């Protein structure tokens, strides 16, 4: 598995690449992509065997563009990976923490470190990407400037880590889907992810969810997104415990299919544990 190419969005050293190395091993071959749609394209056309797609952050919530793409493509969820986001403050070799006046990073990373930066008296500067900020600072050092990125980014671009865990809150995790063209071998405990739409009538969503509840199936996530072709109508994304080959899950899926106007199973896959 470690010899397979895994696509991800971002520059080398991104948290998505860290997720790949955590899941597939340190020697995994990776393929950086410009955006999320390129991840899907690279797996579809065979340039990559798998894609690592961020779908949810414990602080920022759902990664909406990623979920929207899951509707339009037929890749299957192979696994989920949960990565602890540990932001590091880094600068070129020889720079000291006392030299730093400003910090560049992606706006979401800066938002997760706002109190720490304020306490340190550092000015946040928005940049398009965490790993991209690290790469560009390594190539063109700026006086008084550091970046916030992953430890992998520091290793990738030869930057010194001046401070670790500069995020304001400890419970910062990002959940990823590992995408592929086929279904993975079963490993328990399993989870299943589905997308469905309901008829626009009272109790429609309750009726669908009842199919899971009546069979003792535990739902772990529900998310709604507007349907682009139907104003004020919504798609629902649901994760629940169990495998699509389980009798109870098959019965629930049959019940949902009868009550929903659209149903897509994204896959059943091994449930990840927080490390």
- What the chain holds in terms of domains, given with CATH numbers, is 5-85+172-180 (3.40.190.10), 88-163 (3.40.190.10), 190-269 (3.30.70.260)
Degrees, nearest 5: CA angle 250-252-257: 95
Distance of CA 271 to the CA centre of its chain: 15
Q: What is the pLDDT along the chain (275 residues), one digit of tens a residue?
A: 446 899 999 999 999 999 999 999 999 999 999 999 999 999 999 999 999 999 999 988 888 899 999 999 999 999 999 999 999 999 999 999 999 999 999 998 999 999 999 999 999 999 999 999 999 999 999 999 999 999 999 999 999 999 999 999 988 999 999 999 999 999 999 999 999 999 888 999 999 999 999 999 999 999 999 987 788 889 999 999 999 999 999 999 999 999 999 999 999 999 997 76
User: CB-based contacts of 1: which residues, under 8 Å, 6+ apart?
Assistant: 24, 25
Burial 100-138 (b: 16+ CB within 10 A, else e): beebbbbeebbebbeebbeeeebebeebebbbbbbbbbb
Catalytic sites, residue numbers: 174, 176
H/E/C letters for each residue in 189-252? CEEEEEEEEECCCCCHHHHHHHHHHCCCCCEEEEEEEEECCEEEEEEEEEEEECCCCCHHHHHH
């Amino acid at each position: 598995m470690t010899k397979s190419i895994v696509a991800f969005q971002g520059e080398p050293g991104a948290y998505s690449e860290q997720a790949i190395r955590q899941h597939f091993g340190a020697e995994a071959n990776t393929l950086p992509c410009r955006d999320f749609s390129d991840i899907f394209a690279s797996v579809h056309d065979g340039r990559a065997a798998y894609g690592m797609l961020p779908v949810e952050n414990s602080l920022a919530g759902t990664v909406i563009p990623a979920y929207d793409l899951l509707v339009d493509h037929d890749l299957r969820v192979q696994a989920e990976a949960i990565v602890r986001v540990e932001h590091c403050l880094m600068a070129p070799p020889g720079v000291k923490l006392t030299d730093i006046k400003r910090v560049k990073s992606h706006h979401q990373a800066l938002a997760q470190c706002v109190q720490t930066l304020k306490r340190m008296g550092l000015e946040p500067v928005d940049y398009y990407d965490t790993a991209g900020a690290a790469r560009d600072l390594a190539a063109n050092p700026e006086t008084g400037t550091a970046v916030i990125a992953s430890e992998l980014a520091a290793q990738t671009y030869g930057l010194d880590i001046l401070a670790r865990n500069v995020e304001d809150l400890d419970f910062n995790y990002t959940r990823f889907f590992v995408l592929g063209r086929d279904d993975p071998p079963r490993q328990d405990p399993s989870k299943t992810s589905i997308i469905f739409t309901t008829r626009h009538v009272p109790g429609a969503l309750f009726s669908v969810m009842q199919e899971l509840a009546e069979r003792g199936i535990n739902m772990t996530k529900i998310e709604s997104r507007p349907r682009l072709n139907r104003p004020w109508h919504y798609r629902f994304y649901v994760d629940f415990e169990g495998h699509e080959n389980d009798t109870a899950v098959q019965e629930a899926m049959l019940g949902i299919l009868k009550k929903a106007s659209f149903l897509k199973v994204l896959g059943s896959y091994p449930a990840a544990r927080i490390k």
